[in-house]
Amino acid sequence: MSSDAADATDEEDPIAYFLDDITYHGKSDRTRAFYERVLRDFEVFLTEGSRPVPVAEASHRDCMAYVHGLRGEKSESTIATYASYLHRFFAYMIQIGTFESNPMALVVEEMDESINTDPTRREIGVAPMREFVSAVRHPLERAVVVTLLKTGIRVGELCNLDARDVHLETPGPRPDVPVRAGLDGRPDSMYVSASPSRGQVSNGEERTASNKRKRDTTIPIDGELARALRHWLAIRPDTRSAATPLFVSTSGEWGARLTPDMVHHLVETHARDRGWYRDGGGAEENVTPHYFRHFFTTHLRDRTGDRGVVKYLRGDVAQDVIDTYTHDWGDRVRDVYEANIYSLRI
Name, in order, each residue with C-beta under 8 angstroms of 111's C-beta and a sequence gap of 6 or more.
67, 79, 80, 83
Which among 88, 96, 148 is positioned nearest to 294, based on CA atoms? Answer: 148
Which among 327, 332, 324, 301 is positioned nearest to 314, based on CA atoms? Answer: 301
Give the separation between CA 54 and CA 98, rounded to whole angstroms. 13
What CA dihedral angle connects 283, 154, 245 and 256, to 10 degrees?
Answer: 20
Q: So what's the pLDDT on residue 264? A: 96
Give the separation between CA 15 and CA 186, rounded to whole angstroms. 37
Give the separation between CA 21 and CA 165, rounded to whole angstroms. 33
CB 294 within 8 A of CB 160: no
CB 186 within 8 A of CB 218: yes
What CA dihedral angle connects 144, 148, 151 and 157, to 10 degrees?
Answer: 80
Residue numbers in the chain where pLDDT is lower than 50:
1-10, 113, 323-327
Q: So what's the pLDDT on residue 288? A: 94
What is the SS3 assignment for 218?
strand
Q: So what's the pLDDT on residue 118? A: 60
Give the separation between CA 62 and CA 67, rounded to whole angstroms. 9
Q: So what's the pLDDT on residue 322? A: 53
Give the separation between CA 174 and CA 232, rounded to whole angstroms. 9
Backbone angles phi and psi of 218, in degrees to 5: -105, 120
Residues forming beta bridges with residue 102, ordered by sequence position: none
Which among 99, 75, 73 is positioned nearest to 87, based on CA atoms? Answer: 99
What are the tens digits of pLDDT across the range 235-263? 999 999 999 999 999 998 899 999 999 99
Residues forming beta bridges with residue 156, ordered by sequence position: none
Backbone angles phi and psi of 220, in degrees to 5: -65, 150
CB 27 within 8 A of CB 106: no
Q: Is 282 exposed, middle or buried (0-12, 13-18, 19+ CB in 10 A)?
A: exposed
Give the separation between CA 55 and CA 57, rounded to whole angstroms. 5
